[in-house]
Amino acid sequence: MKQKCYAVIGGGINGLAVARQLMLDHPGATVTVFEKESAVAQHQSGHNSGVVHAGLYYEPGGLKARLCRRGVALLKAYCRENGLPYDECGKVVVALKEEELPRLDAIYQKAVANAVPGVRLVDQNELREIEPNCIGIRALHSPQTAIVSYAEIAGRIAAEIEEKGGSVRLNSPVFRLIERESRVYVELTGGEVHGQAFDYAIACCGLQSDRLAQRSGDELTPKIVPFFGQYYVIDEAFKTHVKGLIYPVPDPRFPFLGVHFTKRIDGQMTVGPNAFISFGRENYGGLSFSVRDMADFLGYSGFWKFASKNLGASVRELKTVVSESAFVREAAKYVPSLGHVGVAPAVRGIRAQAMEGDGSLVDDFVIRKQGNIAHIRNAPSPGATSSLAIAEYIVREVMPQSAPSLALV
């Protein structure tokens, strides 16, 4: 039987994981990754909290819940087999006020439904045993939540793809995918069409995913709206005040997890990320902006609907954007001994968050297939945790169905 040819667009952790999975499941297949940057993992996969989420928050039965749990097992094994650091430092989600308790309990119920190992609710004394400097009236403890370097893992997967005979083509921005008579052609920016015709293509383009999808004939929505998250590194002398990961109970009015203390795999302790609209999809410098990217969300009616519904939360986040001390104060509510700690700005991440036309943020992963082309249209956190499982899902469940037009959400 003739071996198939696959094109994967995007050299973030998801695209690389998909390419690797194709090579594992279809030995002898031709697999080519097209990445627009000069190195892999230059966007979300290289700018995140580095947390291996255990599966606490996700709607039981949804793709996120399923692929996160499976992703943890695959990622842990991958790190062990490849000698990559994996630190099960544990995490607490902390309630400071009575009104947060029902929400904390709801997270606990979801964690149990998602079969997250070892998770339990603890009182303030037990919390002190786990995190001696943390205050709170009740907390959820997830002992197996871990930290890794996703950039390092992505780099290892890219090397493995090449060792297995695949190719990772850097500096190769794809303009669109064209399907003709069951063959997929890759048109690069500038008009050149790559010499090889492919049987299938899988686009994993993160912050640019809606644009490539649209240009390749997929639906207009959901659109990507970028939200940045700023991190700060805390003074070396204070980093032992936090042992693992300390998270707030998420605010239901806002879709992100809230500013948290995150231990990094390199031993640094960071605080962040906040969440605010980014004036560019790939502008990591605080003051820079992209007219094209701004015009894109300002011209989207969904964005205005979102903005009007989330004014209060946006004001709260804005305080942490304009004032470093407000940022630290927010976090120090959980660890008062860090109230006056010195911080230095660290990396900023930009989330590729899909938004519907009605202003709602798409919560679950969205992977859509049309003909022989599949697009990841939404893979926010825990997208990196889930990457090896997302890859299995795409290669084993999405791609084999070669019906002419099929939507999977």
Ligand X SMILES: Cc1cc2nc3c(=O)[nH]c(=O)nc-3n(C[C@H](O)[C@H](O)[C@H](O)COP(=O)(O)OP(=O)(O)OC[C@H]3O[C@@H](n4cnc5c(N)ncnc54)[C@H](O)[C@@H]3O)c2cc1C
Residue indicated by tokens 């644009």? 211
- Which residues contact residue 153 at a Cβ distance below 8 angstroms, ignoring those fewer than 6 apart? 13, 75, 78, 79, 84
* Min CB(5)–ligand X separation in Å: 17
Rounded CA-CA distance 345/233 in Å is 6
* Min CB(390)–ligand X separation in Å: 8
Strand 167-169 relative to strand 146-147: parallel, antiparallel, unpaired? unpaired
Strand pairing partners for 355?
Answer: 223, 361
Please answer whether residues 365 and 390 qualify as being in contact, where contact means their C-beta atoms are separated by less than 8 angstroms. Answer: yes
Rg (CA), the chain: 21
Taking CB under 6 A as the criterion, the residue among 166, 206, 258, 280 binding ligand X is 206
Choices 36-44, 77-85, 91-99, 134-142; region in contact with ligand X by CB under 6 A? 36-44
* Min CB(374)–ligand X separation in Å: 13
Q: Does the footprint of ligand X cover residue 204 (CB under 6 A)?
A: yes
Taking CB under 6 A as the criterion, the residue among 207, 245, 335, 346 binding ligand X is 207
Choices 42-50, 300-308, 316-324, 326-334; region in contact with ligand X by CB under 6 A? 42-50
Q: Does the footprint of ligand X cover residue 350 (CB under 6 A)?
A: yes
CA distances from 245 to 132, 149, 263 (A): 13, 15, 6
Please answer whether residues 386 and 392 qualify as being in contact, where contact means their C-beta atoms are separated by less than 8 angstroms. Answer: no
* Min CB(237)–ligand X separation in Å: 25
Taking CB under 6 A as the criterion, the residue among 281, 351, 369, 375 binding ligand X is 351
Taking CB under 6 A as the criterion, the residue among 89, 380, 392, 395 binding ligand X is 380
Region class of 217: left (phi > 0), else alpha (psi between -120 and 50), else beta: left
Rounded CA-CA distance 85/77 in Å is 11
* Min CB(124)–ligand X separation in Å: 26
Choices 78-86, 233-241, 309-317, 349-357; region in contact with ligand X by CB under 6 A? 349-357
Q: Using CA of residue 311, residue 317, residue 323, residue 329, what is the dihedral sign?
A: positive
Query: Which own/partner pairs from 158-167 qualify as long-range (CB within 8 Å, at least 24 positions apart)?
Result: 158/11, 158/16, 158/33, 158/40, 160/20, 161/16, 161/19, 161/20, 161/23, 161/31, 161/33, 164/20, 164/23, 165/23, 166/19, 166/23, 166/30, 166/31, 166/32, 166/33, 167/31, 167/32, 167/33
Q: Does the footprint of ligand X cover residue 213 (CB under 6 A)?
A: no
Taking CB under 6 A as the criterion, the residue among 21, 30, 49, 372 binding ligand X is 49
Using the minimum distance from each CB to ligand X, give the nearer residue, 25 or 187. Answer: 187
Using the minimum distance from each CB to ligand X, give the nearer residue, 44 or 114. Answer: 44
Using the minimum distance from each CB to ligand X, give the nearer residue, 138 or 389. Answer: 389
Number of residues that bind ligand X (CB under 6 A): 43
Choices 80-88, 200-208, 335-343, 367-375; region in contact with ligand X by CB under 6 A? 200-208
Q: What is the dihedral of CA 395, 396, 397, 402, to 10 degrees?
A: 70
Q: Tell me, rounded to whole angstroms, the distance of Cα 176 from its chain centroid.
A: 24
Tell me the two tokens of residue 379.
Answer: 């893979």
- Which residues contact residue 360 at a Cβ distance below 8 angstroms, ignoring those fewer than 6 apart? 306
Q: Does the footprint of ligand X cover residue 244 (CB under 6 A)?
A: no
Classify 318 as helix, strand or coil. helix
Taking CB under 6 A as the criterion, the residue among 23, 31, 35, 75 binding ligand X is 35
Taking CB under 6 A as the criterion, the residue among 45, 142, 270, 372 binding ligand X is 45
Q: What is the dihedral of CA 148, 355, 22, 147, to 10 degrees?
A: 10
Using the minimum distance from each CB to ligand X, give the nearer residue, 37 or 356. Answer: 37
* Min CB(82)–ligand X separation in Å: 18
Q: Does the footprint of ligand X cover residue 51 (CB under 6 A)?
A: yes
Q: Does the footprint of ligand X cover residue 249 (CB under 6 A)?
A: no
Choices 138-146, 161-169, 306-314, 381-389; region in contact with ligand X by CB under 6 A? 381-389
Q: Does the footprint of ligand X cover residue 205 (CB under 6 A)?
A: yes
User: Which residues of this chain interact with ligand X, rule CB under 6 A?
Assistant: 9-15, 34-37, 42-45, 47-51, 53, 173-174, 204-208, 212, 229, 273, 349-352, 376, 379-385
